[in-house]
Structure 1
Amino acid sequence: MCLKWISKSKSKGALRKVNLSANWSPPPATTYKWNTDASLDPINHQSAIGGVLRNDQGNFLCVFSSPIPPMEINSAEVYAIFRAVKISLSNPRISSCSIILESDSFNAVKWCNSNQGGPWNLDFMLNFIRNSIHSKLKAKIIHKHRESNAVADVLAKQGLRRENEFLAWM
């Protein structure tokens, strides 16, 4: 188990442990995997993103958690993928290897993998992602269900309480 998140159960008032790596699957050998996610707090008009990069043994290599400008959830999911791509490009060791980017947003994955389309206000991010995965990175973006994205989900939710981005390399 990589992390345990302890939260209050609303129904019983007791603490419960949640295994955050239960449904995560490792990438093939010599491949790195990003799990990204976004979170939205409509009451406080806030959005945030988070991500975790792991190797084929499940070891954390990098994590990020960041507030972002308020936006619709699918747009925020694209923002999370965009941030993971930018972080990957900033590290020669990572950018020279194969990378899998996983998101639980079907729309974000579809927009990133298509040659065109998506919301007009995301054109810059989508074109940057598309260009990067086709020319600068050996990367593919795939959709995975929420259960395999628990660590990124926690990081995105923590981003709602941050003033600035948290980025850590392990």
Structure 2
Amino acid sequence: MTAPAQVCVARIGAAHGVRGAVKLWTFTEDPFAVKRYGPLSTKDGTRKFEIASAREAKDHLVAQFRGIATRDEAERLNGLELYVPRDKLPAADEDEYYHADLIGLAAVTTTEELLGRVVAIHNFGAGDILEIAPPQGATMLLPFTNAVVPTVDIAGGRVLIELPQEVEGDGPEAG
């Protein structure tokens, strides 16, 4: 399995002030690491951004990008996700991985049944959720917990899924 070409490391938020600064939410362990990765780009690679300065705010950074000098320019960036090439990131420790490394892995049950492929990882505030696309039918969402996903095997190209067992007597047929 080849590593993803790029990884999302930040998202631009609202403009901050009148001189082109923006709120910047980073997805790195050290928020200021985004400055060390070189130019950040949009997912399609058509736009590149270099951080000229950044300072810590309450739960984000306030960043100034080179070439962005007005509030109007900054407002047009709101919502953009910023990416870096995967090889610019530090290697993950053993038993750790980047979420981007999971995209495309086979999702297999403990009985070796193929459920599908991991197509996304979401977080709606209560923890990570794996989105798995089966060979046919609608995608399924599973909590990304040690109980449901006991094994991630990047080298083997799969994640092991422990499906909950139905308890006898539960359900509408129980009398």
TM-score class normalised by the smaller sequence? under 0.3
Larger relative contact order, structure 1 or 2 (CA cutoff 8 Å, min sep 6): 1
State TM-score, norm by structure 2: 0.23
State TM-score, norm by structure 1: 0.24
Q: Which has the higher strand share?
A: 2
Q: Which has the higher helix share?
A: 1
